[in-house]
Structure 1
Amino acid sequence: MSRIALIVTFEVRPGCHAALLDLMRRHAAACLADEPGLERFDVLEAMDAAGRPDPLRLMLYEVFRDQAAREAHWAKPRHEATKAAFAPLIEGRSSQLCRLGPD
């Protein structure tokens, strides 16, 4: 089966970047420690053209071994708790699911 990547972009509420960044870093570390099918979970700070962090955008890059690992990740109670915790920190989000090249 093909590995799956998920790229999520958050539109951060003004003044909430540091809180969301901390929350997502802790979430990523907990997921990586607990989910063998999650191969990678990076928290990315978007940058502007001058190389400065964009305080209104934050991104995640996750790589799953396969579809079953992705579904297991979303089924964890931690996933819903984290979604509830970040909801007041964001104005919106978009995501893109991707298949990683040949195995």
Structure 2
Amino acid sequence: MSEPALAPRNALGGVLVVWAVAFVASIAVGIFVPEEWRVPWLLVAFGGIVLLSFAVQLWQGRTQGFIFRVGGSAIGALLLMGVISVGFGLAALVT
């Protein structure tokens, strides 16, 4: 990795992939898991998302901005999953 990449991959693509997986995982947890087990399963899903963000950024093979990209993908996924879980919590209060 001492030579610069001639055509480096887009760093935003890996972050967006992690966010998309977080969106799908939180919707799946909200639909398929009973209400009393949603929070523990959301935590398990977020742990998998953090591991996925490391794997995606390591797969890209770029050292510049690694921590920034992993942090951005993990924090963005956390916020996204939090907003979706608030939506499911409000929906549980209404019904």
Higher helix share goes to which structure? 2
Higher strand share goes to which structure? 1
Structure with greater contact order relative to length (CA < 8 Å, sep ≥ 6): 1
Indicate the TM-score class for this superposition, using the shorter chain for normalisation. Answer: 0.3 to 0.5
Larger Rg: 2
What's the TM-score once normalised by structure 1's chain length?
0.35
